[in-house]
Structure 1
Amino acid sequence: MMERKVKVGLIQHSCGADRQENVDKAIALIRQAAEQGAQVICTQELFDAMYFPQVIDVEKYNWAEPLDGPTWTTIRDLSRELGVTLICSLYEYAAAGMYFNTVAVYEDGQYLGKYRKHHIPEGPQYLEKYYFTPGDTGYPVFKTKHGTIAVLICWDEWFPEPSRIVALKGAEIVFYPSAIGSEPDHPDLDTSQSWMDAIKAHGIHNGMFIAAVNRVGREDATDGSGHMTFYGRSFLSNPLGQILIESKTNEDEVLVQEIDLNEIKRTRDILQFHRDRRPDSYSEILKVSL
């Protein structure tokens, strides 16, 4: 079997009020990952800004930019300069009154496509339904020179269906850019382990690699109504759900890990979940309520 090794890079960091400083920080960390040999590098969710859906503020619509906007273009050009595949998560302006939580994938300066977040949460200080139109891209996969990848965004990672879909389309690595941390209405609850367990389970169910990247740090709501603390714990797991690398801190950190995509076939030849599926018996799941 031909060797199919690839180095994955995850960029975990805090964000402040100055959006350009956030972009500059991310670029520096991306460069650091590339220097360590990373070939496919993923930012965290909405990496250029503090997590603005803590509050409702119509002015934040002005933070969205079209796919040919300056931040997207900067990341595209960086992928060309570094000769890497870059997965970039930003707030997309699609049309007046229509904004998406979007990831674009670039490789060597070429645009490979986008994914728009499908599952939009709504809860205390996770007020995303005000800001994001539900995604309309379906669940694409992207054929890169380092393998076939897919990207799902934050709340998507709690749902098993998207991961199964991209696996059946050939995804070998699924990236999950995230912004998750404290639960403001349950201040004593730490969901970080449940978060990790839920995501790596998708890798087990589908025999693929999982790469989740999350922000860190405390961010105060702009209206003074509260704050959130993001717990990081970015990680990469293999097709058996074993953690290969996890962030050591809840601070800015670059994770780089080499993986062998041949592990996917070896695992799927043992755990035949895709072979033994019964989609003919699953019609009930298409109903909202049973």
Structure 2
Amino acid sequence: MQTIPQDLEGNLALALKMAKKSIKNGAKLIVLPELFDSGYCVENESEKYASDFTNPQDSKTLQSLLKFCQQHKVYIVGCVIEKDSTNNTFYDTAFIIGENGLIGKYRKIYLWGDEPKRFGRGSDYPIFTLDFNDFQVKIGLQICYEIGFSEGARILSLKGAEILIYPSAFGKARLYAWNLASRARALENGAFVLAVNQSKSQRSQWNHQKLKFAANSQIINPKGEVLAKARKKNEALTYTIHLQDCKEQRDSLPYLKDLNISLQTKALQSLEKSFNPN
């Protein structure tokens, strides 16, 4: 999806237009990229485009998506600027919304580049269960840069996530990382990965440099195989996945079962005392 900075109305309209295309092809779970409503490069305007999840009725984005979900009986994963009015902090926040309202949200923990100047950091790895009447599925959310942090995906998978979703505004200069890391997260966890990215470019309000996005949204199975990939601007990918593939792959290659969590925890705690990234 190509979003236009500061064009909330236009971006929302485009997102729902693409979602309708997917619904015509049978989609029940729809994923939109990082900061899809405001655009990514609105560094000076967080307040203007932020949604307060404690008062969702005041957010045009959340209300529009809720109405859409109620009309079409679907779930939508999105990612917006969140304002926490209790501490006056902004977050880069992914969320799931359905016909009955907000299912839950995830605040980005690992912030890229200048993002720490814009956003606070999240501190939790929640799991969300979606009910599709005749079956349920457990979802884990991460955002963009976090596709390169295997630890988050591992924690979510150990909690039961069968689908890992990454709303993103990932840079074109690191397309190689996007393609490799998304497949690795799927393979090592025996999970489906839905990696949904922005396309084209935007210009930073801070340094006026042009940021080119990697595009290449893709759906990846638990073996790390790419099932579908977007090839053009504003292309709506639709694919039917089979959840039993998760169990079959985890039985075939039991990384989660054989992981020594106690040993890994001790090693990480030891590293924490002495780790110096420089």
Return the TM-score normalized by structure 2.
Answer: 0.89
Task: Report whether the alignment pairs 1:151 with 2:138.
Answer: no
Task: Report whether the alignment pairs 1:181 with 2:171.
Answer: yes
Conservation of the 8 A alpha-carbon contact between 1:120 and 1:134: yes
Equivalent of residue 29 in structure 2, options 19, 26, 40: 40
Kindly state the Cα deviation for residue 231 of structure 1 after the two structures are TM-superposed: 1.9
Task: Report whether the alignment pairs 1:132 with 2:122.
Answer: no
Conservation of the 8 A alpha-carbon contact between 1:75 and 1:88: no
Q: Secondary structure of the residue that 1:254 maps to in structure 2?
A: coil
Alignment of 1:106-121 (within 5 A): 106-121=97-112
Whole-angstrom distance in 2 between the partners of 1:193 and 1:133: 28
Return the TM-score normalized by structure 1.
Answer: 0.86
Conservation of the 8 A alpha-carbon contact between 1:77 and 1:109: no
Equivalent of residue 227 in structure 1, options 184, 205, 210: 210
Kindly state the Cα deviation for residue 60 of structure 1 after the two structures are TM-superposed: 3.2
Task: Report whether the alignment pairs 1:211 with 2:194.
Answer: yes
* Residue aligning to 1:9: none
Cα distance per residue 1:20-44 (max 9 Å; x no partner): 1111111111111111111110110
Whole-angstrom distance in 1 between the partners of 2:204 and 2:120: 22
Task: Report whether the alignment pairs 1:51 with 2:51.
Answer: no
Kindly state the Cα deviation for residue 50 of structure 1 after the two structures are TM-superposed: 2.4
Conservation of the 8 A alpha-carbon contact between 1:15 and 1:217: no
Whole-angstrom distance in 1 between the partners of 2:93 and 2:40: 14
CA gap 1:61/1:130 in 2 versus in 1, 3 angstroms = farther
Kindly state the Cα deviation for residue 117 of structure 1 after the two structures are TM-superposed: 0.8
Equivalent of residue 29 in structure 1, options 14, 18, 31: 18
* Residue aligning to 1:248: 231
Kindly state the Cα deviation for residue 284 of structure 1 after the two structures are TM-superposed: 2.1
Whole-angstrom distance in 1 between the partners of 2:155 and 2:139: 12
* Residue aligning to 1:185: none
Q: Secondary structure of the residue that 1:269 maps to in structure 2?
A: helix
Task: Report whether the alignment pairs 1:169 with 2:169.
Answer: no
Kindly state the Cα deviation for residue 193 of structure 1 after the two structures are TM-superposed: 2.4
Kindly state the Cα deviation for residue 120 of structure 1 after the two structures are TM-superposed: 1.2
Cα distance per residue 1:86-138 (max 9 Å; x no partner): 1121111112531111122112233211111111122xxxx2111111013x1
Whole-angstrom distance in 1 between the partners of 2:129 and 2:214: 31
* Residue aligning to 2:2: 13
Cα distance per residue 1:190-236 (max 9 Å; x no partner): 32122121122111111010000000012123367221111200001
* Residue aligning to 1:187: none
Whole-angstrom distance in 2 between the partners of 1:107 and 1:65: 17
Structure 2 unaligned blocks of 5 or more: none
Counting matched residue pairs gives 263
Kindly state the Cα deviation for residue 255 of structure 1 after the two structures are TM-superposed: 0.3
Q: Secondary structure of the residue that 1:256 maps to in structure 2?
A: coil
Q: Secondary structure of the residue that 2:122 maps to in structure 1?
A: coil
Kindly state the Cα deviation for residue 16 of structure 1 after the two structures are TM-superposed: 4.3
Q: Which moved more, 1:171-180 or 1:29-38?
A: 29-38
Conservation of the 8 A alpha-carbon contact between 1:220 and 1:227: yes
* Residue aligning to 1:268: 250
Q: Secondary structure of the residue that 2:12 maps to in structure 1?
A: helix
Structure 1 unaligned blocks of 5 or more: 1-11, 183-189
Residue type of the alignment partner of 1:280 = S
Whole-angstrom distance in 2 between the partners of 1:60 and 1:87: 20
Whole-angstrom distance in 2 between the partners of 1:133 and 1:274: 31
Alignment of 1:73-88 (within 5 A): 73-88=63-78
Say which structure is richer in helix.
2
Say which structure is richer in strand.
1
Equivalent of residue 141 in structure 1, options 123, 127, 148: 127
Whole-angstrom distance in 2 between the partners of 1:13 and 1:82: 24
- Name which structure has the greater RCO, CA cutoff 8 Å, separation 6+: 1
Whole-angstrom distance in 2 between the partners of 1:225 and 1:41: 32
